[in-house]
Amino acid sequence: MQWRHYERIISPLRGNHIKIKTLTKMTDKELGKLLRKAYKERLCGDNAEALAIYYRINNEYPDNITYIGLLAGTYYEEKEYDTALEYCDKADEIDPDNPNTLNLRGLIAYDKGDKESTEKYYRKALEKAPLLVDCRSELINLLFKEERYNEVVEQCQFVLENNGTVYQRPRYGVVGQLYIRKQ
């Protein structure tokens, strides 16, 4: 971190002046290091530490939708749905049509048992970003569980048509096989 200057603060306990360092914006290298550390903490299941890092980043970049989304996603993983939705609302103030936020809202709605809203959010996210892999996967799973096989086939057709792009992930091998078996 780069330290810009000291501020004088009067201590409420003694009336003494104490010096507190104030931060300037972190460098790209420091930001990258913090993001990697938070990612590793989330992988290891220490979401509390990841949240602390994301708060630190969010304080430096309060209007960055990506970092707000990371906070929302981490709260979602902790099943703190109301807090995650608060951060989704904050992200919506910046960009109401962000596909990642819409996808996260769909995941939260699914976990809360609201299948109608879930599908609405997934479809809206896919309108904005048709190649959003995780969202399309969740939509296919939702349609399959509701036994809406014709719509599953349509979604699988999209996946097969876009096989040369981002859909070469292992989970789509099963989806493609399902489509081929259905025909």
Q: What is the pLDDT of residues 93-118, one digit of tens each?
A: 999 989 999 999 999 999 999 999 99
pLDDT band of 137, cuts 50, 70, 90: confident
The domain segmentation of the chain, as residue ranges, is 131-183
pLDDT, position 163: 64
The tally of CA atoms less than 13 A away on the side-chain side of residue 131 is: 9
Number of residues assigned to the chain: 183
The structure's pTM equals 0.74
Q: What is the pLDDT of residues 68-89, one digit of tens each?
A: 999 999 999 999 999 999 999 9
Task: Work out the end-to-end distance of the chain between its first and last CA atoms, rounded to an integer number of angstroms.
Answer: 59
Nearest Cα neighbor of 137 from 182, 169, 108, 180 is 169
| Residue 76, token pair as written in the block | 């979602």
- Secondary structure (DSSP) of 153-173: HHHHHHHHHTTTTT--STHHH
Best mean pLDDT range from 22-31, 119-128, 145-154, 156-165: 119-128
Please, which residues bridge with residue 3 across strands?
23
| Residue % of the chain over a pLDDT of 70 | 75
